[in-house]
Chains A and B, each alone.
Chain A
Amino acid sequence: MSGTPRIVIVGAGPAGIRAAATLVEAGLHPMVIDEGHRAGGQIYRRPPAGFVRPPEELYGSEAAKARALHALFDQLAEEGRLTYRAGSSVIAAHDGRLHVLGEGGVQAIGYDRLILATGASDRIAPVPGWQNAGVYSLGAAQIALKAQGVALGRRIVLIGSGPLLTLVGAQLLKAGADVAAVLDTSSWRQQMRGFRGLAARPIVALRGLALRARLGRRYHAGVKLERIEADASGVTALLWRDAGGREHLTPCDMIGMGWHLRAETHLADLAGCAFIYDEQWRQWLPVTDGIGRAGNGVYLAGDGVRLLGADGAEIAGRLAAAACLADLGRPAPSVGADLRKLTRLERFARGLASAFPWPAAMVRTLPDDAIVCRCENVIAGAVREGAGFGGGEANRVKSLSRAGMGRCQGRYCQLAAVELVAAQAGCTPEAVGRFRGQAPVRPAPIGAYLREG
């Protein structure tokens, strides 16, 4: 390899920024490609220029971390110590080359080492009626508030389970939104099961409880979600049952939904990474060694490989860069302290996973006419039929039912579809497998390719 290796980092969230800074410190000049217009990722997402709320208002207890990451990245970019490609999507990875979709079309960029810090998005389970206008992910509700200063409805109901459910509810209330109810499908008993793990980060756990307390009587644990009602302009109400089985119809014009996170792994798949089914997170995750090495010059960091949250992503970013440096035969920072921290975060994350689980039973009992794939309105009945027809294999069912073939490429239906197939075929979700990744991982206009070279 020549003296200056071409290192490309995909993603400018906490993991990508720390990876970039570690490489720069070692005297290298990485390229950072990110879809955002300003570095920060989703959790530390920044509003456009001209917005005035300070980080304390946007990120609460995490403001100092956000401020530090933003300042660090801006400085490295300004001083020209890295090449920053903002507003650009990596849509394919093959044979040491990335296809990058930006304003000028698609450009091929070669790399010797690739660090993927692609993050995660909401893990979604379908609820009958979720295709209607006014139903958003919890992440969307938070992005709208942080990056635009808006609520996505006048009367809001949040549903799902996980730390984001409580956090988004508390943030919306604080900003003055009308939050009618925050409905957690995890029961109190289930939440106590995660207690031992959550004790690994007592301050974070207590902060979560304090946020929960702010929700007051809006918060209900152990609910059953029946259906979302809507008229021609969107959502009008949510029908649900409380833990005691009592039925409630809560009028609302916006619903935010999410069950923790789903790792964004399409590029890891295209880059040739191996995957393993993670029983606790109920999803397929790319395989790496302890510090993010996936083989073939590919490294993974952050929520796109292990769902440890922003603090874990910062650490994993540093580790992945250290692995990369070591493989290049350059002096690498020591990893011992970071690895110990990561172990503690891992224990906490496992606690979260068991306290706020994927609602497998809810998905398995979806009515046949409920929509599973929101892109093409594929119903649960069609997925079950596909499994009956083609057997319990994810890609067979995908081609028979079209679930996962829509324009989001399975990001929001895959886990539910696999759960339905497993139930139908009488096997485990692991045995059903996962949808194969396909390039381009974002829809790209044909014209973008025509402008190339």
Chain B
Amino acid sequence: MITEGRIVRLAERARAKERFFLDGEMRGALAGDTVLTAILASGHVLRKSEFGPEPRAGFCLMGACQDCWVWQEEGPRLRACSTPVTDGMRLRTTPPESWP
């Protein structure tokens, strides 16, 4: 459900709409959203922990904790809290299989 995310938009709701893809599925975002905001506006988690069963959704939002890594379809990972989402961006919550 697109409207049922972790994040609640309290202000700045009149921005231009954008689209991005998460694990192949199209999602909506607003111009100026970080990748973290965009993903959590329509979902509850960013990725799975490699060391435990629990999912993760970021922690510090200032680029220090490295909890919010997600992957781009072409391979490289990015920090969701400090990367602006761009229209048409293609992201994954797991590393691409062909990625070393």
Interface residues on B, range: 35 or more
List of A residues within 8 angstroms of B15 by Cβ: 50-51
Report whether B6 and A374 are in contact in the complex, using a CB–CB cutoff of 8 Å. no
Any B CB within 8 A of the CB of A60: no
Any B CB within 8 A of the CB of A423: no
Report which of A134, A149, A412, A447 forms a contact with B10, defined as CB distance below 8 A: A149
Any A CB within 8 A of the CB of B54: yes
Report whether B49 and A122 are in contact in the complex, using a CB–CB cutoff of 8 Å. no
List of A residues within 8 angstroms of B52 by Cβ: 131, 371, 377
List of A residues within 8 angstroms of B2 by Cβ: none
Report whether A47 and B32 are in contact in the complex, using a CB–CB cutoff of 8 Å. yes
Chain A interface residues toward B at CB < 8 A: 35, 37, 42, 47-53, 57, 89, 121-122, 131-137, 139-140, 143-145, 147-154, 175-177, 230, 232-234, 253-254, 264, 371, 374-377, 406-408, 411-412, 442-443, 445, 447
Nearest 7 interchain pairs by C-beta: A149-B12, A149-B11, A133-B57, A140-B61, A407-B66, A377-B51, A48-B32
Q: Which has the most chain A C-beta neighbours within 10 Å: B11, B34, B41, B81?
A: B11
Nearest chain B residue, comparing its CB with the CB of A172: B10
Report whether B6 and A121 are in contact in the complex, using a CB–CB cutoff of 8 Å. no
Report whether B66 and A375 are in contact in the complex, using a CB–CB cutoff of 8 Å. yes
List of B residues within 8 angstroms of A145 by Cβ: 10
Given contacts A51-B12, A151-B7, A152-B40, 13 further A-B contacts (CB under 8 A): A49-B32, A52-B14, A89-B63, A136-B58, A139-B61, A150-B41, A176-B10, A177-B8, A230-B54, A374-B67, A377-B49, A377-B52, A445-B77
Whole-angstrom distance between the alpha carbons of A197 and B43 in the complex?
45
Chain B interface residues toward A at CB < 8 A: 6-16, 31-34, 37, 40-41, 44-46, 49, 51-52, 54-67, 76-77, 81-82, 84
List of A residues within 8 angstroms of B66 by Cβ: 375, 406-408, 442-443
Report whether A121 and B64 are in contact in the complex, using a CB–CB cutoff of 8 Å. yes
